[in-house]
Amino acid sequence: MIRFVAVAGLVVAAGLGIVLVVLRRSLVAVQITGSSMEPTYHSGDRVLVRRRSAEIRVGVVVVMERPGSSGGWSTPPLDGDLHRRAWIIKRVVAAAGDPVPPEVVPALPAGAGATVPAGMVVVLGDAPGRSLDSRYIGFVPVARILGAAVRRLPT
């Protein structure tokens, strides 16, 4: 009987370990720096992000890798430690196949009436005057998106 209890305890511990690993790989907490998403999110807020979510659609708030000063990215997408990347939070306003919103047409290679290409999205901050978004960087590759914001975390 003691042997059965010991084995059962090991099985439960192993199961909990697996669950924790899966959760760690699918959820991550990110702290927001900056005011580009005010009034929805404020600098210092922490959000829970579901990584590589299929929920990347119009209206969803996403956490994406911050582009470099040239508007592009110099590293391969999400190839290493998440903590070595700079992340920004934005709202998806157009996804693949959607018409390009008029406010971002000047930043995009496609003209008025164009659609968002496959594998790309258009993102905007909720505070237009303070946001590094598709108005400046153009289309954002879905591969540069960490995931969808699930909820604000207590601070």
Q: Is residue 46 part of a domain?
A: yes
Task: Give the count of domains, the chain.
Answer: 1
Give the domain range for residue 135.
28-153
pLDDT of residue 3: 61
Q: Is residue 16 part of a domain?
A: no
Structure tokens at 63: 């956490």
pLDDT of residue 22: 45
Q: Is residue 119 part of a domain?
A: yes
Among residues 137, 24, 43, which one has the least CA distance to residue 89?
43
For residues 58 and 120, give the distance between their C-alpha atoms in angstroms, rounded to a whole number: 12
Q: Answer yes or no: is pLDDT of 118 > 90.
A: yes
Q: Is residue 18 part of a domain?
A: no
Residue type, 137: I
Kindly give, in sequence order, each residue whose CB lies less than 8 Å from that of residue 68, ignoring residues fewer than 6 positions away: 74
Q: Is residue 2 part of a domain?
A: no
Q: Return the minimum-mean-pLDDT range out of 66-80, 94-108, 122-136.
A: 66-80
The pLDDT tens digits of the residues spanning 74-108 come to 777 766 566 677 788 999 999 999 998 888 777 77
DSSP state of 34: S
Per the document, the length of the chain is 155
Q: How many CB atoms lie within 10 A of CB 142?
A: 18
Structure tokens at 51: 């990584």
Q: Answer yes or no: is pLDDT of 21 > 50.
A: no
CATH for 121: 2.10.109.10
pLDDT of residue 92: 96
